[in-house]
């Protein structure tokens, strides 16, 4: 049975809502605070990276923005929310876009979550410098662990989703 364009759109919209909620939960409730209350390590990036590869750049950026920014607001880190919007948006966009360009390159396609994670790290590096000065730059080390660790976890998850033929439901 051929699926319509509307079916694919509805599937993507539903997936953005579900992944956005999952990103929020994994960010807000599975967090490890940094020293000095200067942010927190979380697992929401796994969801954003996976969704960016499955759904695409815009959807991945939306999921990262919703999950991350709502978590910042929920946890009392509202001053980070604008930076989170930038960091998670760039991460989702870069990952999804690069993955779409490289999707037919079997091994090479999986550099995309690492590139996306690098954009996140750089955005937060700027954030720490602006908000905390040079002393706050040490937090970027934690962001590297979070971003690249999340990429390492997202790749086998993507392979499992791909093998289960779930990815096909989101492509036109």
**Spatial separation of the C-alpha atoms in residues 115 and 94, rounded to whole Å:** 7
CB 27, CB 42: distance < 8 Å: yes
**Spatial separation of the C-alpha atoms in residues 98 and 51, rounded to whole Å:** 13
pLDDT of res. 156: 98
CATH code linked to domain 5-170: 1.10.1760.20
Where exactly are the structural domains of the chain? 5-170
Phi, psi of 164 (to 5 degrees): -80, 0
pLDDT of res. 1: 47
pTM recorded for the entire structure: 0.93
pLDDT of res. 38: 62
Output the tens digit of pLDDT for each of the chain's 172 residues: 456 888 888 989 999 999 999 999 999 999 888 777 666 789 999 999 999 999 999 999 999 999 999 999 999 989 999 999 999 999 999 999 999 999 999 889 999 999 999 999 999 999 999 998 998 788 788 899 999 999 999 999 999 999 999 888 787 6
Place of tokens 């602006």: 130
């Amino acid at each position: 049975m051929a699926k319509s364009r509307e079916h694919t759109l509805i599937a993507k919209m539903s997936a953005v809502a579900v992944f956005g909620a999952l990103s929020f939960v994994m960010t807000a409730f599975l967090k490890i605070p940094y020293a000095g209350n200067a942010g927190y390590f979380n697992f929401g990036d796994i969801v954003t990276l996976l969704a960016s590869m499955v759904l695409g750049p815009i959807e991945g950026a939306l999921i990262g923005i919703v999950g991350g920014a709502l978590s910042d607001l929920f946890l009392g880190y509202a001053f980070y929310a604008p930076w989170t919007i930038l960091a998670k948006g760039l991460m989702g966009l870069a990952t999804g876009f690069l993955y779409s360009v490289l999707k037919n390159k079997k091994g090479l396609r999986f550099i995309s979550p690492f590139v996306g994670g690098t954009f996140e790290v750089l955005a937060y590096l700027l954030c720490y410098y602006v908000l905390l000065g040079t002393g706050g730059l040490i937090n970027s080390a934690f962001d590297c662990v979070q971003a690249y660790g999340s990429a390492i976890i997202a790749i086998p998850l993507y392979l499992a989703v791909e093998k289960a033929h779930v990815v096909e439901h989101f492509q036109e």
